[in-house]
Structure 1
Amino acid sequence: MKNFVSDLIKVSKPASYLPLEVNLPKISFKERDIRFVLSYPDFYEIGMSHFGGKIIYHVLNNLTDFALCHRVYLPKPDMQKFLKEKDIPLYAIESLRSVKDYDVLAFSLLTELVYTNVLKILELSKVPLKREERKENDPVVLAGGTCTFNPVPLSPFIDIFVIGDGEEVLIEIASLLKEKKDKGWSRQDFLEKARHIEGVYIPAFGKYRVKRRVFHSFDVKYFPVKPVVPSVETVHDRIVVEAVRGCLRGCRYCQAGFTYRPYRERSVKEVVFLIDKVFESTGYEEASLLALSISDHSKFNDLIPEVISFCYQKMIGLSLPSMRVKGFNPDLATQLLQLKKTGFTIAPEAATERLRKVINKDLTNDDIFSLVEGLFERGWSKLKFYFMIGLPTERDEDIEAITELLYQVHKISRKYKGRKHLAAGFSIFVPKPFTPFQWERFISIDEAKRKIDFIKKNAPRSFKLRFHTPEISFLEAVLTRGDEKVADAVYEAYKLGAMLDGWDEYFEFSIWEKAFEKAGVNLDKVFQGFDIGEELPWDFVDGGVSKKFLLRELEKAYREEKTPDCRIVGCHGCGSCTSYEIKKIKELPIPERIEFNVPPKPKRDFPLKSKIALFFEKRGYSRYLSLLDLTRVFTRAFRRAGIPLRYQGKFNPHPRFTILLGIPTGVESLQEIVEIELSEEFKMDESTIELLNQFLPAGLRFLSWKEIERKESLLRKVKVEYKISGEIYKEKAEDILKADRLVGRKGKEVSVKEFVENFMIEDGVITLTLKVLAGRTLNVQDFLFWLGKDFSSVSVERKVMVVE
């Protein structure tokens, strides 16, 4: 399997397909009997941002001594082509072993739009797509996540569904697999026993009553304090601490608000402790508190000052998730600017108070405008709003009210100096299982487009508008409430080439139209909704919240009545809490006002005290790290090692260091140089070098250091040596290196002769020594271009040398 690595230069971002991460578990494949490979079925950059996957990864690797967990993601189209051309099965990042070598292939499903991605991963892994076609030695295919509350659309392809929280149930499944191996059970024996685990659904046995699994303890030992840190850029690459799980606000469109119940929260002490531990193991520059509504934390007014204080000390920016607007003091938002200059998000969802009563959103227009006024008064310039269109009972005047609300915000913004960055995002309401709106219709695509066109035409031009694609939202609406025929359509769409349906650039609606027609899916049902009395495809699943309660909430929606949080008025009898939890919730009251105080922080000063040049090598897999990747990796390593970096920038400070003569992706190097600026006196020694090397990915290693003058740079004292191996015509190379000027690969004239100090060509190897003049030198990629070569056809090694 590992022989293909040298050819990965042919694909984009090759580092995302290799074990080039920090904090990888030091557990070999053969060391443990039970092997899981976990997949968020999207690109690496998306999947690595999924916090739930980090929890499962931690639980299996650290809370058992017999199971391990590795990861696999959906390769990008160019990598898929590469794998097929070379007949390489999809492999796990940690081991570079085929997915087929593992006992379990587990998918995390947070959106229905990845269903065809699941089938593509199975195909690339050479695992039979349909569960009845799998043999004894094929991996057990498992799926968990919010989408599994209606498992029917994926039932033909999944052996085991985990419905609800996965922390404990995954350990139970792993233990049962170990027993299977120890006792020589068949695949069927294992499945028959697994069906009795609470929260597990086995579609091979038909529809039977399944109760959602709830993780009641919320114990910190299940928290991933040492997560895998990517070297390449990902969507959300930061400290994430789940401060709250569950929500009792009861927004009637929100599936997570009902399926994540009961409400659980961590203490202020626990949250700060976990941020500290994750920072120690990652060096991350930003932190986020995960919650459906963080300002409902019972100790919110104590929590935020504590977190801000810690983050300020460690130079960590803080991002907060959704906070309720009602009762929010704009002065509090200003205090957040002590950590990071950012924007403020307001999510009215609907623009009329009538429609907000329908969806149970406790918010008035006066609340919104008062907050907007307060934010602009205090110097905020970036505001973003979120709305839904197509909500139940929505009328034309509700859509008109959106543009009127935006105009009012625009009008308020004009009263204050400075450029304002105003944005509004619009999603299309998708009725979800286990919500009061699970029976509702999805508006037609034409109706959605008409409403979008109205908003585009009538909204103020000062707002940047973003809309979900109606066809993609329609697909989500079909899949989320789908039955067996929709499962057939998923298979048909996949065979027709559907993949990456959540991405506008890859989505092809015509494929799905053909698939729905061939599978005989009744699309009228999507636009009409379900009758209250009819059986729903997911009715065999006990989602925690009772159907009786959901119907009661639906009736209240049509009466335009609100249901307060049960921590305010007492238990509403939704069915999700135990008697103990109902009693316990009284000890976690919602703060009456969002009101905390963070004393002003002293102005930070980062004087340039000293400067150090660190010499490092970049070999093996790490040759695929880009310059930006190296910058990211080094920043975190320096922070973890406690090196007093000098920072620059008032609102979003960044450390001052420079990697000299940035090395191209794909080139190995025996020696490179990074110069770092320090704001305090610091003595570099061998122990610091050893410590730093513990925080670097495979193949990247610091070698030595040199103290330099504060205004000095070794860039004035270096030359570069390349060794280029491959099938090269000696005469052609000599002609190039003796030339005065040539046109480079980007069409610009490039100086050659002035940079070439010396070269030698012997046994197919070019040794090329280049001068560095005014911080510049000859780009080796131009030289390869003139040779008619690139990094996929030759091997290139570099060394940056200091000339005293």
Structure 2
Amino acid sequence: GIPVFAKDRGEEYPIIMAGGPCAINPLPLQDFIDVFFIGEAEEAIREIAEIFKNYKGKEKRLQKLAELESCYVPKIHSPLISQGWKVKARKFTAFSHSDLIHKPQLLPWQIATHHRCVAELMRGCSRGCRFCQAGYFYRPVRERSADILIEDILSEIKESGWDEAGLLSLSSSDYSQLKEVLLTLLNSIDTDRTHISLPSLRVDSLDGETIDLMRELGREGLTLAPEAGSQRLRDIINKNLTEEEILAGVKLAQELGWQKVKLYFMIGLPEETEDDIDAIIELIQKIQSQSRNRMQINVTLSPFVPKPFTPFQWSAMLSQEELLNRCIKIKQAFKRSGNIKIKYHTIESSLLEAIFARGDEKIDKVIYDAWKLNAFFDGWNECFKYELWEQAFQKNGLSPQEYLQEKNLNESLPWDFIDPGLDKDFLKEEWRKAKAGKTTPDCRQTCSQCGVCTSELKNELSPPLTKPAKIQFSESIGFRNEKSNIQYRYRVFYSRMDIQRFISHLDWMRMLFRLVSKAPLETVFTQGFSPHPKISLCPPLPLGVESICEYFDISFYSPYSEEDIINALSLENIPGYKINKIERLIFKPKLPFAEWISIKIPQEYISHIESSLSTFEKEVSHPFIKIKENKTTTYELKKIILKTYGKNHQLFILKSLESPALYDMLAELLRLDKTILYTLSLCRIGWSFL
């Protein structure tokens, strides 16, 4: 494998790079990473690619990368930090109108977090919430041109059949052309096929027209982030949001038909007291009372984590015990409220987040030792073991508390060698204003002299929307305002070969839905919040098995010829996927009760398999017991295996669909280890129908 430490990776190993918000302070990872890129990388990606293209050898490439603006190469730069060397974060000045965006977006087989087409409305945020690292690091605000934005979204949906497009930013409702963009999208897409999601909303910038447009585009709930329950604490964190605005926004959403609201609060904010926790409870109660208990209220509590390059980078983090007590207090207050759900993040993982965020180079050793103690997959609660991290700290003679305590305004910070463009004196002044409970206005209204803006880099708004969408879905995919009651149903037979055997049933189903969604056919879609093509797939194909006889049943509002359907659904160049034939379904379709499986048998296993099958044939009964999650199921293989025969080094098995997992059954039947079975070529070749 690849050595973990950068110092152990010679010329024969690849260059390991890191970047993005989680690497803004690179010190806790610098023992493992060869190169960090600090800032926005759209333009730099090409520059980095040119270096790899024009220079050979790892050392030469590292030297050239070290000369590139915003690259931090620990091997070269680390000794220079004590001499005052700094790395300046890159800003993408052409964000508003540049075409340096990957198009079309990659469509993964496996489902990803936030699995949707992504359109970035704007970069940066002008609100100045004092806890928000992204808000400060991505300053100033640069809005994407509304014309380019709409063209990109509609093109992506048409090309890839996405069922959701996300209009993303740190504060999406602040986008100056939001209503115009939403209205254009509403008139341009089939909302039965594609939803538009709009996270990161500020309730004080919403109105009835915007909320109504969002509902028409498939949004069914309102998400708000008051962050704090009291006005005093909201002023300290510079949220600039009043309780009246919060309640008015919820009331408006309910009046327009929304029945869900999500609320996000932070626990352990600087200067927080028990009164502020009581204020969170009271605010939730007011929302519940105002909605007459008719709204589903989902509340998420997140421990405050101090982050570099924010006014709160000097703040202490509340103790583990106190954070937990405050979360439990809020949760207990609503234990009898069926329409209110309270959840909170794992406290210990937030403590580690704070340590990694404000850590120094000594944390590298802690990370390594925790990993050696089997601290794997810590993002999953069932795998997270905080005691392993405590052991790693003890081994290195460190205390987590030294990274969680308040820092002096005048002390040097480990990440001071990173220059994000912000004036450190500005951050200090914001910290003092927070202590005094004073707010700072939106910087698009009044400049706060943070130091980011230059003659080339400043707040930039989108020009007004000037041209209609180029792609009108009402023409391109047969969109109908009024759907016919008459439906035409077909069965599509197809093959899944080669690499397709490694794609799971659910991942294939999602890809098939996208393939059908973008096809120029009048497809019937299901009803509800998450509509998808009205398709019924055949029984799942086991992972690792090919097939020449897969099928799905699909409905259309118009009749089509076999040629029309094959042409429409064969547009994608999907390896291993091929349509074999189409059948029109006039009557209720037949369903299979058994499947034929063929197995290519290597010469060295033929005699063993013949012996196993001979023994099985002579048996009167062959029970197979499967134990899974404390549940025991017994199968009678003599009723499941309906027929077997061999021909030309192939074994053919007709088996019932009501059976244990295929490889489990074959291991029992053929008396072969599953590791051997995984190396054999298996193919589903036919069905037996009722």
Q: Partner of 1:768 in structure 2?
A: 653
Q: 3-state SS of the aligned residue for 1:664?
A: coil
Q: Which residue of 1 aligns with 2:448?
A: 572
1:144 and 2:19 matched: yes
Matched-pair contact (CA < 8 Å) for 1:341–1:652:
no
**Secondary structure in 2 aligned to 1:579?**
coil
Displacement of 1:282 after TM fit? 1.5
User: What is the distance in 2 between the residues matched to 1:653 and 1:608?
Assistant: 19
What does 1:479-628 align with in structure 2 at a 5 Å threshold? Answer: 479-569=356-446, 571-582=447-458, 585=460, 605=483, 607-628=485-506
1:199 paired with 2:74, answer: no
Please list the CA deviations of residues 306-364 of structure 1 after superposition, one character each: whole Å capped at 9, or x if unmatched: 22333336720121111111142356434433333533211100000110011111211
Shift of the alpha carbon at 1:424? 0.7
TM-superposed CA distance for 1:637, in Å, is 1.1
Work out the CA distance in 1 between the residues paired with 2:667 and 2:212. 53
Provide the rounded CA distance (Å) in 2 between the counterparts of 1:586 and 1:609.
47
The alpha-carbon distance between structure 1 residues 769 and 525, as it changes in their structure 2 partners (threshold 3 A), is closer
The correspondence of residues 10-159 of structure 1 with structure 2, limited to 5 A, is 126-159=1-34
For residue 257 of structure 2, give the secondary structure of its aligned residue in structure 1. Answer: coil
Give distance in 2, aligned partners of 1:530 and 1:290: 34
**Cα shift at 1:160:** 1.3
TM-score (norm 1): 0.75
Asked if residue 662 in structure 1 is aligned to residue 548 in structure 2, the reply is no
Query: What CA RMSD, in Å, does the superposition of the two structures yield over aligned residues?
Result: 3.0
TM-score normalised by structure 2 residue count:
0.87
Asked if structure 2 preserves the Cα contact closer than 8 Å seen for 1:609 and 1:680, the reply is yes
1:93 aligns to what? none
* TM-superposed deviation, 1:730: 3.8
Listed as ranges, the matches of 1:672-683 within 5 Å are 672-683=550-561
Unpaired runs of 5+ in structure 2? 465-478, 627-631
2:401 and 2:539 map into 1 onto residues whose CA distance is 61
CA contact (8 A) 1:127 1:134 kept: yes
Q: Per the alignment, in what secondary structure is the counterpart of residue 140 of structure 1?
A: coil
Alpha-carbon distance change, 568 to 460 in structure 1, aligned in 2, over 3 angstroms: farther
- The correspondence for 1:164, drawn from 12, 16, 39, is 39
CA distance in 2, matches of 1:799, 1:159: 50
C-alpha spacing 1:568/1:745, structure 2 compared with 1 (3 Å)? farther
Superposed CA deviations along residues 27-56 of structure 1, whole A, max 9, x for unmatched, are xxxxxxxxxxxxxxxxxxxxxxxxxxxxxx
Contact 2:191 2:217 survives alignment (8 Å):
no
SS at match of 2:190: helix
Distance, in Å, in 2 between the alignment partners of 1:158 and 1:415 is: 52
Matched, 1:215 2:86: no
**How far did 1:127 drift?**
2.4
Match for residue 232 of structure 2? Answer: 354
Instruction: From the superposition, tell whether residues 149 and 780 of structure 1 become closer, same or farther in structure 2 (CA, over 3 Å).
Output: closer
1:784 aligns with 2:659: no
Aligned 8 A contact 2:105 2:117 in 1 = no
Q: Residue type of the partner of 2:685?
A: K
The partner residue of 2:509 within 622, 631, 645 is 631
Deviation at 1:437, TM superposition (A): 0.6
Contact 1:744-1:785 within 8 A present in 2 as well:
no
Q: Could you tell me which residue of structure 1 aligns to residue 311 of structure 2?
A: 436
**Residues 146, 462 of structure 2: 8 Å contact kept:** no
Partner of 1:232: 110
| Aligned match of 1:733 | 613
Deviations 1:514-533 (A, max 9, x none): 22233233534334221000
Shift in Å, 1:753: 7.1
Correspondence 1:452 to 2:327? yes
Following superposition, the deviation at residue 295 of structure 1 comes to 0.9
| CA offsets 1:629-653 (integer angstroms, 9 cap, x no match) | 2211211111222232111213332
Instruction: Report the Cα offset of residue 293 of structure 1.
Output: 0.6
What does the per-residue CA deviation read over 1:723-779, in whole Å, with 9 as the maximum and x for residues that have no partner? 23454544653675798986555555667777776532457643234689xxx7998
Cα distance between partner residues in 2 of 1:412 and 1:541: 47
Aligned length: 653
Structure 2 partner of 1:698 = 575
SS of match in other structure, 1:704: strand
Structure 2 CA distance for aligned equivalents of residues 451 and 282 of structure 1: 46
SS in 2 for 1:466: strand
Partner SS for 1:215:
coil
2:270, 2:17 → 1: CA distance?
A: 35
Alignment partner, residue 308 of structure 1: 186
Superposed displacement of residue 380, structure 1: 2.5
Structure 1: which 5+ runs fail to align? 1-125, 590-600
Counterpart residue number, 2:354: 477
Q: Which amino acid aligns with 2:652?
A: T
Alpha-carbon distance between aligned partners in 1 of 2:336 and 2:574, rounded to the nearest angstrom: 47
SS in 2 for 1:654: coil
